[in-house]
Amino acid sequence: MAHASDLIATDIDEYLTSHQYKSLLRFITCGSVDDGKSTLIGRLLYESHLVFEDHLAQLAADSAKVGTQGTDLDFALLLDGLTAEREQGITIDVAYRFFSTERRKFIVADTPGHEQYTRNMVTGASTADAAVLMVDARKGVLTQTRRHSYLVSLLGIKHVAVAVNKMDLVDYSHEIYDAICAEFLDFAGRIGIDHVTFIPVSALKGDNITEPSGHTPWYHGPTLMGHLETVPVDDEATSSPFRMPVQWVNRPSHDFRGFSGRVVGGTVKPGDPVRVLPAGTTSTVERIVTMDGDLHEAVAGQSVTLTLSDEIDASRGDLICAADSPAEVADQFEAHVVWMHEDEMLPGRPYLMKIGTRTVGVTIAHPKYRVDVNTLDHLAAHTLALNEIGVCNLSLDRAIPFDPYSTNRDTGGFVIIDKLTQNTVGAGLLHFALRRSHNIHWQDVRVDKGARAELNGQQPGVVWFTGLSGSGKSTIADIVEAKLHADGVRTYLLDGDNVRHGLNRDLGFTDADRVENIRRIAEVSALMVDAGIVVVVSFISPFRAERQLARDRVEDGEFIEVHVDTPLEVAEERDPKGLYAKARAGELANFTGIDSPYEPPEAPEVRVNTSVMSAEGAAEAVVEALRMRGIIG
């Protein structure tokens, strides 16, 4: 590492002091596969003298073996991390690189420009202060350039540089460069990118990377490195209202109670009045505690522990805000959602949402529209697939504090987590609370479930039959209802086929429609339980998450899940409606057990198997279980 090496050799203390006060810039590079993005980053590392001798030796060996630059060093090979992708010649994930100059330290998120990888770019952009967009001078502004620009703008990056690369291949033509700038500016204006810096470069030859190039005498702007060293690190976070999500309540002893968290907006001082959301309680900051001693002020970006002057109740997930400009609190939102998983989004399915330090339940409505990231057109959509972006309404299971994403990334950005696999399946940006969130309240009523149940002289509940088509659900459910009815129990049977003729006639058999099908049935069941009735439900209901949703809609002990666990071979052999035959012949798509999954219950209240017991026997087993649980006398 030779940069500043004179100072390092002669006065290491002076060097370290100067290094200590460097700021940090995180930026993202975006470009198409052949724009020379990896070459550019490799060049930045090389120019800041951060490539070690052994890395250089390996680079030379790799360049000769798989490089694309003949006998020259192929800088791109410095970056590609995983062996598989190195062989494919494309980077397939976000990689983080580090380098520093005498003025700044940099963290680069290197993301691929390949068609499929919106997910990675959004991930890289979420932590970036600035963006460098690569444009191939020979090709100009491409569809992919537009896509990257849109994503950069969506994620709220304010400082955008366009590196017009491969200028050496267009004879450093001023006209070509100007035409590209004009074309880009026209587009940038439409998507709300206000400040753009254009720089003509050749990553391969090193023009305008760290030194002004003699090949572009007509260019008087900064070099790329010069730009990166001077672009302002975003101070907006510090000037916005104070926000700190509580991460951890610090209680080493009875006489200390602190709230640990990272300040994500504004500044805070002892004596500042604060409001704790969503509860809305108020107090005053007493101390800002750190291991290095109390602070007289904490600013956005710092991790601290606050003590408050009142004994108020605050816990992980709460948001401590400036009392005079608190965040909003709501439970229904409009948001941009970016889908990040191979399994498409299922509108209506209960997911988890993590925002700040709070995790809540969320259901996502059908998208209002999907954004074509290439044309920015709004397209009709039923759901979102991997790498698709749409605008959707969200409904949460409780109210949360938030700011619009455009105001604060950390109180307006969220991720979506699948309840079953615990994978992060999506991300999103909150825009605003829906008005109805403020205006819909529960109407207090005088006659409640208990009163209705008492008049009926019975315990209400849901008997939920799940199983493959042809497993015998409907037959058993029918017998069960008849037995209950004979005993004087007020019942109602909801059958999958019958309901699809009416309430759910608009739904098909895609995963998304199946989820909505079950969501409606769960709601109807819950209403009937509220009316004091024993509801018998017979639906394939293939997904665990939706059966859980139905269970969650009623009280503990009111939901009896009956798994009609007839093996697929037996059900298919019976094939009472001829559906398996059709599905096998390819005439019927999305058929459970054939080309659509069935997730068996892990712990059903009752499990019956009609291949070894009669329908009558199975029904008797269910009635017995209801008796044991006190649903019937």
Order across the sheet with 606-608: list the strands: 491-495, 534-538, 461-466, 559-564, 606-608
Q: Which stretch binds another protein (CB under 8 A): 76-84, 370-378, 521-529, 585-593?
A: 76-84
CB of 434 to another protein, least distance (A): 23
Pattern 478-517, another protein, x by CB under 8 A:
----------------------------------------
| Residues paired with 132 in a beta bridge | 29, 161
| DSSP code per residue over 146-210 | HHHHHHHHHTT--EEEEEEE-GGGGTT-HHHHHHHHHHHHHHHHHTT---EEEEE-BTTTTBTTS
CB of 71 to another protein, least distance (A): 21
Distance, CA of 301 to chain centre: 22
| DSSP code per residue over 326-384 | PPEEEEEEEEEEEE-SSSPP-TT-EEEEEETTEEEEEEEPPPSEEE-TTT--EE--SS-
Q: Name the 3-class secondary structure at 606.
A: strand
Residue 413 · residue 437 · CB < 8 Å: no
Q: Does 251 bind another protein (CB under 8 A)?
A: yes
The residue count for binding another protein (CB under 8 A) is 86
Residue 344 · residue 383 · CB < 8 Å: yes
Residue 389 · residue 370 · CB < 8 Å: yes
Within 430-469, which residues bind another protein (CB under 8 A)? none
Which lies closer to another protein via its Cβ, residue 223 or residue 267?
Answer: 267
Which lies closer to another protein via its Cβ, residue 55 or residue 629?
Answer: 55
Distance, CA of 619 to chain centre: 44
CB of 464 to another protein, least distance (A): 23
Contacting another protein (CB under 8 A), which of 70, 214, 293, 502?
A: 293
Which lies closer to another protein via its Cβ, residue 58 or residue 281?
Answer: 58
Contacting another protein (CB under 8 A), which of 48, 216, 223, 305?
A: 305
Contacting another protein (CB under 8 A), which of 29, 48, 63, 123?
A: 123
Which lies closer to another protein via its Cβ, residue 417 or residue 550?
Answer: 417
Q: Does 23 bind another protein (CB under 8 A)?
A: yes
Q: How far is CA 450 from CA 258, 535, 559, 569, 626, in A?
A: 43, 16, 16, 44, 19
Token representation of residue 183: 């074309």
Residue 177 · residue 137 · CB < 8 Å: yes
Residue 216 · residue 202 · CB < 8 Å: no
Which lies closer to another protein via its Cβ, residue 86 or residue 378?
Answer: 86
Residue 117 · residue 387 · CB < 8 Å: yes
Q: Does 230 bind another protein (CB under 8 A)?
A: no
Within 91-110, which residues bind another protein (CB under 8 A)? 93-98, 100, 104-105, 107, 110
Which lies closer to another protein via its Cβ, residue 418 or residue 565?
Answer: 418
Q: Which stretch binds another protein (CB under 8 A): 20-28, 168-176, 443-451, 472-480?
A: 20-28
| Residue 5, C-beta contacts closer than 8 angstroms, at least 6 positions apart | none
CB of 371 to another protein, least distance (A): 18
Angle at 181 between CA 176 and CA 183, to 5 degrees: 95
Which lies closer to another protein via its Cβ, residue 98 or residue 218?
Answer: 98
CB of 265 to another protein, least distance (A): 12
Q: Does 233 bind another protein (CB under 8 A)?
A: yes
Within 401-430, which residues bind another protein (CB under 8 A)? 409-410, 413-415, 417, 420-424, 427
Contacting another protein (CB under 8 A), which of 352, 360, 434, 503?
A: 352
CB of 293 to another protein, least distance (A): 7
Q: Name the 3-class secondary structure at 513.
A: helix
Residue 336 · residue 368 · CB < 8 Å: no
Which residues are annotated as catalytic? 541
Q: How many residues does this entry show for the chain?
A: 633
Q: Does 120 bind another protein (CB under 8 A)?
A: yes
Which lies closer to another protein via its Cβ, residue 211 or residue 235?
Answer: 235
Within 329-348, which residues bind another protein (CB under 8 A)? 340
Contacting another protein (CB under 8 A), which of 72, 81, 182, 600?
A: 81
Q: Looking at beta carbons, which pairs linking 623-629 to residues 24 or more positions away fall under 8 Å?
A: 623/480, 623/483, 623/484, 625/560, 625/562, 626/461, 626/463, 626/484, 626/534, 626/560, 629/461, 629/557, 629/560, 629/605
Contacting another protein (CB under 8 A), which of 194, 292, 313, 556?
A: 292
Within 355-384, which residues bind another protein (CB under 8 A)? 355, 357
Which lies closer to another protein via its Cβ, residue 252 or residue 502?
Answer: 252
Within 48-67, which residues bind another protein (CB under 8 A)? 52-55, 58
| Residue 43, C-beta contacts closer than 8 angstroms, at least 6 positions apart | 75, 203, 204, 206, 209
Within 545-604, which residues bind another protein (CB under 8 A)? none
